[in-house]
Amino acid sequence: MRRTPHHRLRTAAAAALAMALGTVGLATLPTAANAATTGGGLTVQYRTSATGATASQTAPWFKVRNTGGASVPLSDVKIRYYFKADSAHAAHRFSCDWAVRGCAQVTGSFGTLTRPTATADRYLEVGFTAGAGSLAPGADSGDIQLRFHRSDWQQLNQSDDHSFGAGQTSYGDWPKVTARLAGTTVWGAEPGGGPTDPPRAALFDDFDYTAHNDPRIAANGWTLRTYSGGPGVPGATWSPQNISFTSTGGETVMNLETSTSGTAASTRQAEISTSAMKFRNGTYAARVKFSDAPRSGPDGDHVVQTFFAINDLKSPMADDYSEYDFEYLPNGGWGESANIFFTTSWETYDPDSGQSVNQHTVARSSHGGWHDLVFTIDGDDIRYYVDGRLFSTHGAAYLPERSMIISFNQWLTDLTGQTSTAPRAYEQQVDYVLHIKDRVLTPEQVAAEVGAYRAAGRTFEDTVTAG
Ligand SMILES: [Ca+2]
Ligand SMILES: [Ca+2]
Ligand SMILES: [Ca+2]
């Protein structure tokens, strides 16, 4: 497969910038860390109204609070209270005494753990009907006053129950119970310290800005490129003024413009990257509009339109280099004579010799227009999706060794595609970007996440910490 590596020249400079701006990223960390350690989605508070080591009934009371940025339907929430049954044959009965959302909206059922521990072999699972409504960001459920007892009304030994807290006579955060949100554990740890999902951490930006110099862009952790250098035409300019914001179809969008009159001095390109190098495993998504034709002027330039994650090449062929690209070349380039769409996963490369180690998958067809681009990285492989369909899967040899920045850019590989000196301008648009740390989402789940942010009126969130 042909894949010339000269566009890789951008990486050293991009990384130098990211490193230089590292302090900007770090300055934002305390807030992000606080958000992450609160559970990043839900917290569960617990108290008991039956404190005895033995009791006729166990009485766990709960409050669930939404600490995330999007509204949460309570029907997506499941709480588990873990206990050790005092007899292998004991059956239990659940009651709700009082709940702010109404006991009719609260469900309770009992389950058996497949991996029992000394203090847990059963659990009470509490759920909610659709009638329980939603929790807005920051809101809590109010009191949920529950109890359960043995069906034969024998005494319960609570002192050996994992989730029981005899001293918990007023509400407090209680990680000995777990909460799942749409199937993913977002609070607490299961008994036995089995594998649990990390707290949710996310970057979402709907690119709701006014102009390239809107101070919120930098405050939200983005850098618009100004420094010169590769990739692309030597001597070309990277211009923040070539990034603008508008709305189309009711959605805010970011425009990246590349303009030229056929000379290096007249070539102006655009790049926006996160200031912090803090993204590794998880889900990356963006809605991007590629263009097959210039906005104005003659067509034919070797334009590259992109969405990617990358870190710095510390030395030629360094193994801890990482890069994952969506790249569209509407007019060919890199030896291609017509439009071509790349997904590429990089192990490493040598900028001097051009040697490279990557896996790439191409489609030689038009990708003009809006596309939902998703790539996921976990411990096994890298998967690229276009418009909800799996486009390519790249192997474990190309997994990232360390964190990256997220970036969009549009640039020219060379000036041989169109030799006219008439002015022309090409445009790439971006509706939003989303990263969910350490979780592999389906394209449908990505759409639901974005929909939830918009339903909540939330245009930006960043709770991703470095590491
Ligand atoms: Ca017990
Ligand atoms: Ca690598
Ligand atoms: Ca948008």
**DSSP conformation letters of 181-238:** ETTEEEES--GGG---PPPP-EEEE----SSTT-HHHHHTTEEE--S---SSSTT-EE
How far CA 34 is from CA of 37, 65, 67, 231, 398, in Å, comes to 5, 15, 11, 37, 32
Q: How many helices (H) and strands (E) does the chain have?
A: 5, 31
Report which bound ligand comes closest to the CA of 247: 3
Of all ligands present, the nearest one to the C-alpha of 453 is 3
Confidence band for 19, pLDDT divided at 50, 70 and 90:
very low
The proportion of the chain whose per-residue pLDDT surpasses 90, expressed as a percent, equals: 78
Nearest to 145 by CA among 94, 98, 213: 98
- 9 versus 109: the higher-pLDDT residue is 109
Phi-psi region of 229 (alpha: psi -120 to 50; beta: other; left: phi over 0): left
Looking at the CA of 208, which ligand is closest? 3
Say whether pLDDT at 29 is over 60: no
Q: Which ligand is nearest to the CA of 118?
A: 1
Lowest-confidence segment of 6-10, 33-37, 136-140, 316-320 by average pLDDT: 33-37
Same fold for the domain at 6-27+202-462 and the one at 40-193? Answer: no
Q: How confident is the model at residue 192 (pLDDT cuts 50, 70, 90)?
A: confident
Domain extent listing, the chain: 6-27+202-462, 40-193
Is 90 exceeded by the pLDDT of residue 330?
yes
Query: Amino acid identity of 306?
Result: T
What is the mean pLDDT of the segment spanning 191-198?
60
Q: Would you give the DSSP letter of residue 396?
A: G
**Cα(253) to centroid(ligand 3), Å:** 5
Q: How far apart are CA 3 and CA 160, in angstroms?
A: 63
Counting ligands in written order, which one lies closest to the CA of residue 312? 2
| Distance of alpha carbon 17 from alpha carbon 29, whole angstroms | 19
Among the bound ligands, name the one nearest to the CA of residue 280. 2
Assign 200 a pLDDT band (cuts: 50, 70, 90).
confident
| Weakest mean pLDDT among 19-28, 233-242, 260-269, 422-431 | 19-28
**Ligand 3 centre distance from Cα of residue 252 (Å):** 4
Residue 246: how many other CB atoms lie within 10 Å: 11
CA 129 / ligand 1 centre spacing (Å): 29
User: By C-alpha distance, which of 128, 147, 108 is closest to 66?
Assistant: 128
- The pLDDT of residue 28 is 30
| Banded model confidence at residue 1, pLDDT cuts 50, 70, 90 | very low
Centre of ligand 2 from the C-alpha of residue 391, in Å: 21
pLDDT confidence of residue 112? 81
Q: Cα(394)–Cα(455) distance, rounded to whole angstroms?
A: 34
The whole-number average pLDDT for the span 217-238 is 96
Ligand 3 centre from 206 Cα, in Å? 4
Whether the pLDDT of residue 182 is over 70: the answer is yes
Task: Give 198's pLDDT tier (boundaries 50, 70, 90).
Answer: low
Separation of CA 458 and ligand 3 centre (Å): 11
Whether pLDDT at 217 is above 60: yes
pLDDT band at 80 (very low <50, low <70, confident <90, very high): very high
Q: Is the pLDDT of residue 14 over 90?
A: no
**The pLDDT of residue 199:** 66
Name the pLDDT band for 193 (thresholds 50, 70, 90).
Answer: low
Is residue 196's pLDDT more than 60? no
pTM of the model: 0.64
Ligand 1 mean position, distance from CA 195 (Å) = 24
Compute the average pLDDT of residues 3-7: 41
Q: Which pLDDT belongs to residue 4?
A: 42
Whether 12 has a pLDDT exceeding 50, the answer reads: no
**Once rounded to an integer, what is the mean pLDDT over residues 427-433?**
98
Regarding predicted confidence, which is higher, 39 or 134? 134
Please write the tens of the pLDDT for every residue from 128-150.
Answer: 999 999 999 999 999 999 999 99
For ligand 3, the distance from its centroid to the CA atom of residue 256, given in whole angstroms, is 14
CATH match for 40-193 among 3.40.50.10070, 3.60.110.10, 3.30.750.24, 2.60.40.710: 2.60.40.710
CATH code for the part of the protein at 6-27+202-462 = 2.60.120.200
pLDDT at position 399: 95
Q: 118 alpha carbon to ligand 1 midpoint, in Å?
A: 10
Instruction: Find the 131 Cα to ligand 1 centroid distance in Å.
Output: 33
Q: What is the pLDDT of residue 380?
A: 87
Ligand nearest to the CA of 255: 3
pLDDT category at 379 given cuts 50, 70, 90 is confident
CA–CA separation, 50 vs 142, rounded Å?
19
Does residue 162 carry a pLDDT above 70? yes
Q: What is the pLDDT of residue 364?
A: 97
289 C-alpha to center of ligand 3: Å? 12
Q: What's the whole-number average pLDDT of the chain?
A: 89
Nearest to 127 by CA among 113, 111, 116: 111
